[in-house]
Chain A
Amino acid sequence: MKSKFHPDKNGYFGQFGGAFIPELLHPNVQELADNYIQIIESEEFQIEYKSLLKDYVGRPTPLYLAKRLSEKYGATIYLKREDLNHTGAHKVNNTVGQILIAKKLGKTKIIAETGAGQHGVATATVCALMGLECTVFMGEKDIVRQAPNVARMKMLGAKVVPATSGSKTLKDATNEAIRYWIQHPETFYLIGSVVGPAPHPDMVARLQAIISEEMKWQLKEKTGKENPDTIIACVGGGSNAAGTFYHYLDDENVELIAVEAAGLGVKSGESAATSQLGEVGIIHGSKTILMQDEYGQIKEPYSISAGLDYPGVGPLHAFLYESKRANFMNATDKEALEAAFELTKIEGIIPALETAHALAVLPKIKFTKDQVVVVNLSGRGDKDLETYIKHLEE
């Protein structure tokens, strides 16, 4: 069945999406658009993808009933443990899939952008696995604040190129990746989120959809019903949220909550809460909601979390926001830090700073005791220890 949450033939979700790219990228993007669905749906791809996810990534990831957290918030809270994936986050679901697509298209050189470094690590990992050359663009500021992931990428054999323009974060890393792609059209741009020109947002959503595919049977086993009442996920570009929402998009009785990074506060001028601060515009080849001034100059966002420090949001999410299918909430740096410490203390799980934003809305929602809530635990916190330790000392 055709869902209204699937893109049309030009890659639009409602008014959002499309492929606003220079002519130089047209052949690459067209090649992918012509082939990605056929490749993903082929038996050959599915067998290899599922087998790698099982034996290499370690899927299915557990759906864990967090008893103490549930008790605290008066709900039945499950954590979808994407943090237990190989490389420590949901990002690898996408990179495993895209590397198989790249190989099928005969590409040997891979480029990627990264914010927190999780996508960079996941890309470097699959490139090592497949013996492909890997170049990762990362904002200079993020290289400093996510040093462990930079070291991992280098150990995995990737070249890490600092993005020194603009805010020196994820937006600029993406600009640099796109510029390199223009100059090296033989490369495959392994994009890390549900952003970029069509068909990238849809391709990445399909590859992350494994998260909600597993949730359906896991919830059925544990609760007797495939559907939870509420799903909560953090949103920067929006790939973990897209995967967690994917198979529930048409079930309108499942409440979807997307959590953006408010930074120092939505109205502080230091924020990355795109849906609250943004307007319709074009960023990285896609029409979406983005933070910009009255002349269309893109604003520099801020969040403590490098993975959420992005002035736009994927076009699917812009559509979910506009159509009110998803409820967009946000959490500040401080609230996210508190949530990270709380989960660590009462469940023994150190979440990534990005993930902590999703957890940080739990105190803001009024639950009922038997309300089944799934929080996507998108990544683990190893990479953020320096920030956490600093906070501990303060």
Chain B
Amino acid sequence: MNSIQELFQKKDKNLLSIYFTCGYPKLEDTTKVISVLEKNGVDFIEVGLPYSDPMADGPTIQESSQKALENGINLDIVFEQLITLKGTNKTPLVLMGYLNQLLKYGEDKFCQKVVDCGIDTLIIPDLPMVEFENHYQELFDKYGITNVFLITPHTSDNRIKKIDSFTKAFIYVVASASITGAKGEISDTQMDYFKRIKAMNLRSKLIIGFGISDKSTFTTACKYANGAIIGSAFIKNLGNHGIAKIDDFIKPIIS
């Protein structure tokens, strides 16, 4: 069974996921950040693979990726870092990267390394459904890896139903027509969209992301979904205050 699915069996409400960028703020911080997040009771962690041209990311994550690349991070180092957590880390990890990284590294080699690190869930924002069906579904199945699809306020009901049928971990509900980045609040239009998705009674679990930044937006999102992901707001905090202050960021959200 998929690691996130297993998690949902134990807990399916108010799940908090945190996104962070590997190798940020320092090259060797990847595993430290994961350990501190785990200690703070974060339910699952989105591990961002820094990319030179992250099309779906806003300025905060772009800058963290840039910094991580300047720190010398690359996929070999990421996998070396993550494999050290295998066995000790109990919090499921989800890898988020762009398709060109997987393509250039070698599709099979990439998948094998992912599995070696005890990870079984990927988010690849520029992998469209048609390419998934034509090629990647078979590849991922071979390695027992599952891909998380995103839906947006503009995704048609038919498409959402199709995504629902592919989904093994969760559906990533993008909160607005947006790139990543903290917005501060959730609008009525967004609320209507969350309600519409909830009313579809999909079989998949729903996690809301993009624009979730604090206790208030997290709580609102959790009314309409099984949980939410905080990314840019966490990265901003990590950049400004370092690993030592992660507790101060997470505690108020979870309490």
Residues of A in contact with B (beta carbons under 8 Å apart): 10, 18-24, 26-27, 165-166, 171, 175, 178-179, 182-185, 279-285, 292, 294-298
Contacts and interface: CB of A to CB of B under 8 A. Distances in A.
A10 B55 CA distance: 21
Contact of A20 (B99, B101, B149, B179): B99
Contact of B150 (A24, A281, A285): A24
28 contacts: A20-B99, A20-B127, A20-B131, A22-B56, A23-B129, A23-B152, A24-B152, A24-B177, A26-B154, A26-B159, A166-B53, A171-B53, A182-B179, A183-B177, A183-B179, A185-B154, A279-B104, A282-B103, A282-B126, A285-B126, A292-B104, A295-B74, A296-B100, A296-B102, A296-B105, A297-B51, A297-B52, A297-B101
Contacts of B130: 10, 19
Contact of B149 (A23, A166, A171, A281): A23
A175 B52 CA distance: 11
Interface of B: 51-53, 55-56, 58, 62, 66, 69, 74-76, 98-105, 125-131, 134, 149-152, 154-156, 159, 174, 177-179
Nearest to B176: A183
Contacts of A283: 53, 100
A186 to B, nearest CB: 9
> 4 closest A-B pairs (Cβ-Cβ)?
A296-B104, A297-B52, A282-B100, A296-B101
A175 B105 contact: no
Contacts of B62: 165
A261 B74 CA distance: 29
A392 B36 CA distance: 61
A114 to B, nearest CB: 18
Given A282-B103, A297-B51, A22 B155 contact: no
A281 B107 CA distance: 12
Contacts of B51: 296-297
Nearest to A27: B154
A26 B52 contact: no
A20 B126 contact: yes
Contacts of A279: 104
Nearest to A10: B130
Contact of A182 (B56, B69, B98, B149): B56
